[in-house]
Structure 1
Amino acid sequence: MTALKNTTLQDNPLHVYSELSASEVRALQRWISSGDAHRIVPGLASSAPTAEWPSLVARERNRVLAGLFPGAVIGFRSAFAGGIPVDDVIHLSYTYHRTVQLPGLTVVLVKAAGRAPGDMPISGRELYFPSSPRLLLENLTTSRSRIHKAAGREAVEERLLTICDSRGESHLLELRDQARGLAAELALEREFKLLDGLIGSVLGTRSTHKLTTKAGKAKSAALPYDHKRLALFEKCAARLRATSLPDAPAPSKTHAARLNFAFLESYFSNFIEGTEFGVEEARAFVLDGQPIASRPKDSHDVLGVFRQIVEPGWSNQTLASGEPALEQLRARHADLMKERPEVGPGQFKDRANRAGNTEFVLPREVRGTLVEGSRLLPGVPPGLARALLVMFIVAEVHPFNDGNGRLARLVMNAELSVAGACRIIVPTLFRDEYLDCLRVLTREGDCEPFLAAMTKIQQWSAAFDYDDLDGVIAAMRSCNALEKSRTQFKLLWPAPAPATVV
């Protein structure tokens, strides 16, 4: 193979001419002449074996597209799918019509407007991802070619329903205003009329465009909810109504004790979600105000939970019944996650989420499931019973993109505070048992392990003296509360009670 020195040709087996200097292009041409490289299409060559070309193009797709079609905007079905090929086809809005075959990828160039306001560069290259209004408008266009370019009306309707459920009606109105301004520039006035009608139908302000999807019909008839989850909530509520649960009184009587309890609750609640600090390190930035420069967002996660425990407006806020519960949860989440704008503080999730094999409530059913589930709360006795139901509802719906576990425990403990009962600390060693009993309830509908585990851990939380932080940390450490392995350690009761296993 011809030796090439001081050139980027050695760095990557896929060579895009537009990235090369004149001397590098000449070197590549000599390399091609010698048979050490091969031209794939004009402007693109490779020194790798032919069999590797599809995987190279797939790996370097955005680089290749930006190099071959500078200024192109990912469009239509490809944009609707998040910028990836659909059935090995990617659509680009470009300056002319053409279909280009690359190894493992068909590029369909559609003559359309170039970059428009709101379109965003991908990885700093001359390749752009369309704004949300443009994406929706383009996918309402009519497809006449063999390869359908648009996702179509039903797919757009589904997307509008998801946007409305996750971000609220005001965001849908903003999106419509932005689309109105873009429609003329993109020559998509007909598509805007259709989009305008669909948004009006989703919002219930007009009925000129009847919704046709199952989700749309449910949206039009009533607020959709997860029927299976609601049945599970009703079963849990019935069991809680029929069971007399012991409520441990709040052990923290002094201001210092309440602060110490709040610190430990926030520390453990974040630790079981993966925000791991040493307890002394966390104590320094939560109680002593020492900043953690290396992990600012993680430290703010702990502080966010701590703040909602100590501030009476949050710590004593019982969850409302019906639609008011939605705004309560959004406001609490917005405050809890305000230092993490990337997760959408206060915005219901816009994509499905899961933990292991458990799939949580779909985005479009979040609001309805929370509304219907919260209507069960007044019929359950206040205190531990209602606290466990509200925690299970929030954990099972998983209404936000992040922070759901911490949020579920906060609303649970708020119900306990209102009743004058001991808030629940879930120590590190109890994490797996806590999650296991929730999984059994989710998958098998068996409430008993959940009720038994949470009753015991409330009693355990109430068994410590929180007036002296050094003392309670030492006591919890001696009870193995800060350990992780259930196979090596058992969670013990603090002295002077007998060292019985929880």
Structure 2
Amino acid sequence: MASRSMQQKTTGDDTLVLYSELAAAEVRAIQRRLKEGSLQRIHAGIVTNRPKEEWPHLVAANRIRILAALFPGAVVGFKSALAGGVPVDGVFHLTHTWRRKVELPGLTVQTHVGPPAAAGDAPMMGRNLFFPSQARVLLENLTPSRGIRARSAGREAVERRLVDICEARGEDALNGLRQEARALAPVLGLQREFGILDATIGGILGTRRTPMVTRQGQGLAAAMPYDSKRLALFEHLAAQLRARPLKQPASVVKSEHGRRNFAFLESYFSNFIEGTEFEISEARGFVLEGKPVTERPKDSHDVLGVFRQASNPGWANQTLAVGESILQQLRERHADQMRERPEVDAGHFKTKANRAGNSEFVHPRLVRGTLVEGSRLLPSVPEGTGRALFAMFLVSEVHPFNDGNGRLARLVMNAELSVAGSCRIIVPTLFREEYLDCLRSLTRSGDAGPFIAAMQRIHEWTAAFDYEDLDRAIEDMKGCNAFERSAVQFKLLMPARLPPAAAHAA
């Protein structure tokens, strides 16, 4: 007869009782209660006091505990390991000492014969059940497997995971993983699988010519590797620009004098967005009136660099090239724009990753290929406003240089507008946050709607001023709150008096 203390121990929590966790006498006490009908048998060695309709939830909530009890020493395997330790298509895969299929309420467990826990495999919740190392997960999922419920995920899934690792943690992480897998493969008897893994990693890193099976992998392994996710984003934007008729305000500049005035304001505001802040009168002095640059020479030359390209017809009308020609073109434009700033490596693509807030731009190794492949979409986008917005986003999203990328992107945009006879775009200070927010939204969600709508509004706003009289243009812009910074306190207004030339063609 069990003692009173033993009865209390075995009946303290009858929600889920596992024989493997009990002493022999406790098991006998549980078995007597089974015969009495106060407990029910879920599976051999597993009993409960809960009704059958609750059993699937009970098994799911206690999955690790149950698997450790039924398959001591097993290692989570194959698809289940790649998914992070959960069932895939209702099946939980384990590597154990024998092959067996066990049906539990709401869960099918399939064991596969294989090596026990190896170096790098870690116990789960301190129990006799192990989660494999990342190297083992990838090697096992390269093993041959067929059928609807194949145990391994296959090469495509492994390649996709390797690309994700490279993007999240860098190339060193892939090299470290390869070394770990190299040492582990003989222990697991997976040398053939290591050969595939090694070649795939080499393809991603660009050190081997390896046929890849995913779009992301193909992008990284190309002769000129590119960012496939960015390319998909560019394709999505191009499709939206093709499908949406856009307004295209005609140029409002009537003379060479007006063109210089416009170029000055374009340069002033474009630099202000990037944090190069001057009083408008101060900038006017060294840009238009020839006053010597004595203070803040680097910032002053940033303004002058954009002004030079906005006012010089050769630069102002230079549309974005398609294919590999875009690389030399952008280097030359950047070298001219930033020629007074040798410290930013003017005219040379970045060698270190750059970011803005939480957004990381295209990796340096992928800059050339992403620009080339992205530019090939340009001819399919309607010329004028659509192509201008696409060109601007392409350069902005790749961010190919160490500095000056935002200003360069807006110069590229405006060149597309100039050759189409459309008004160039000025992004005033008060519009800065909306402009940047729309770019971030497009980057993160792929929704081009807010970006297109915002740029259409500011395009019409820009075309509503008379640039022949700079004093009047500045005063009108001040009256529209263009120079203000707080979008909470101020609203960007349209000018009260519209010049006749502001009429636009749809």
TM superposition score category, shorter chain reference = 0.5 to 0.7
Partner of 2:278: 277
Partner of 2:233: 232
2:317 and 2:416 in contact (8 A); partners too: yes
2:203 and 2:221 in contact (8 A); partners too: no
* SS of alignment partner, residue 206 of structure 2: helix
Match of 2:207 among 216, 221, 237: 216
Partner of 1:492: 493
2:461 and 2:494 in contact (8 A); partners too: yes
Q: Distance in 2 between matches of 1:439 and 1:451?
A: 13
Deviations 1:408-433 (A, max 9, x none): 00000000001010000000000000
Q: Distance in 2 between matches of 1:486 and 1:213?
A: 44
RMSD: 1.9
* SS of alignment partner, residue 248 of structure 1: coil
Q: 1:454 Cα deviation (Å)?
A: 0.2
Partner of 2:392: 391
Partner of 1:338: 339
Q: Distance in 1 between matches of 2:292 and 2:397?
A: 34
Q: Distance in 1 between matches of 2:271 and 2:333?
A: 16
State how many pairs are aligned. Answer: 293
Q: 1:496 Cα deviation (Å)?
A: 2.4
Partner of 1:242: 243
Query: Quick check: 1:365 aligned with 2:366?
Result: yes
Partner of 1:351: 352
Q: 1:370 Cα deviation (Å)?
A: 0.1
TM-score by length of 1: 0.57
Q: 1:270 Cα deviation (Å)?
A: 0.3
Q: 1:404 Cα deviation (Å)?
A: 0.3
Q: 1:497 Cα deviation (Å)?
A: 5.6
Q: Distance in 2 between matches of 1:211 and 1:434?
A: 40
Deviations 1:367-420 (A, max 9, x none): 000000000000111000000000000000000000000000000000000101
Q: Distance in 1 between matches of 2:416 and 2:266?
A: 15
Partner of 1:309: 310
Q: 1:255 Cα deviation (Å)?
A: 1.1
Partner of 1:263: 264
Partner of 1:375: 376
Deviations 1:205-234 (A, max 9, x none): xxxxx9676233377742100000000000
Q: Which amino acid aligns with 1:473?
A: I
Q: Distance in 2 between matches of 1:431 and 1:215?
A: 39
Deviations 1:430-485 (A, max 9, x none): 00000000011000100000000001100000000011011100000010000000
Structure 2 gap segments, 5+ residues each: 1-170, 176-200, 210-219, 500-506
Q: 1:235 Cα deviation (Å)?
A: 0.3
Partner of 1:53: none
Larger Rg: 2
* SS of alignment partner, residue 396 of structure 1: helix
Change in CA separation of 1:405 and 1:290 when aligned onto 2, cut-off 3 Å: same
Deviations 1:104-123 (A, max 9, x none): xxxxxxxxxxxxxxxxxxxx
Q: Which amino acid aligns with 2:432?
A: R
Deviations 1:28-84 (A, max 9, x none): xxxxxxxxxxxxxxxxxxxxxxxxxxxxxxxxxxxxxxxxxxxxxxxxxxxxxxxxx
**Percent identity (aligned):** 68
Ranges of 4+ aligned residues in structure 1 off by more than 2 Å: 210-221
Q: Distance in 1 between matches of 2:222 and 2:473?
A: 54
Partner of 2:456: 455
2:391 and 2:413 in contact (8 A); partners too: yes
Deviations 1:312-360 (A, max 9, x none): 1100011111000111000000000111101100100000000000000
Change in CA separation of 1:376 and 1:221 when aligned onto 2, cut-off 3 Å: closer
Q: Distance in 1 between matches of 2:366 and 2:245?
A: 32
Q: Distance in 2 between matches of 1:267 and 1:292?
A: 15
Q: Distance in 2 between matches of 1:246 and 1:212?
A: 45
Q: Which amino acid aligns with 2:464?
A: A
* SS of alignment partner, residue 217 of structure 1: coil
Q: Distance in 2 between matches of 1:215 and 1:352?
A: 18
Q: 1:495 Cα deviation (Å)?
A: 1.2
Change in CA separation of 1:212 and 1:460 when aligned onto 2, cut-off 3 Å: closer
Partner of 1:294: 295
Deviations 1:69-104 (A, max 9, x none): xxxxxxxxxxxxxxxxxxxxxxxxxxxxxxxxxxxx
Q: Which amino acid aligns with 2:226?
A: Y
Change in CA separation of 1:353 and 1:325 when aligned onto 2, cut-off 3 Å: same
Q: Distance in 1 between matches of 2:203 and 2:461?
A: 53
Structure 1 gap segments, 5+ residues each: 1-153, 159-209
* SS of alignment partner, residue 492 of structure 2: coil
Q: Distance in 2 between matches of 1:212 and 1:246?
A: 45
TM-score by length of 2: 0.56
2:480 and 2:494 in contact (8 A); partners too: yes
Mapping 1:137-286, distance limit 5 Å: 214-217=205-208, 221-286=222-287
Q: Which amino acid aligns with 2:452?
A: L
Q: Distance in 1 between matches of 2:204 and 2:478?
A: 55
Mapping 1:411-426, distance limit 5 Å: 411-426=412-427
Partner of 2:186: none
2:205 and 2:221 in contact (8 A); partners too: no
* SS of alignment partner, residue 378 of structure 1: helix
Q: Distance in 2 between matches of 1:270 and 1:387?
A: 19
Q: Which amino acid aligns with 1:286?
A: V
Change in CA separation of 1:497 and 1:310 when aligned onto 2, cut-off 3 Å: closer
Change in CA separation of 1:308 and 1:497 when aligned onto 2, cut-off 3 Å: closer
2:465 and 2:498 in contact (8 A); partners too: no
Mapping 1:27-42, distance limit 5 Å: none
Q: Distance in 1 between matches of 2:260 and 2:343?
A: 30
Q: Distance in 1 between matches of 2:482 and 2:387?
A: 26
Q: Distance in 1 between matches of 2:277 and 2:204?
A: 44
* SS of alignment partner, residue 216 of structure 1: coil
Change in CA separation of 1:382 and 1:367 when aligned onto 2, cut-off 3 Å: same
2:320 and 2:326 in contact (8 A); partners too: yes
Deviations 1:236-261 (A, max 9, x none): 00000011001000000111111100
Deviations 1:166-192 (A, max 9, x none): xxxxxxxxxxxxxxxxxxxxxxxxxxx
Q: Distance in 2 between matches of 1:243 and 1:212?
A: 39
Partner of 1:431: 432
Q: Distance in 2 between matches of 1:212 and 1:381?
A: 36
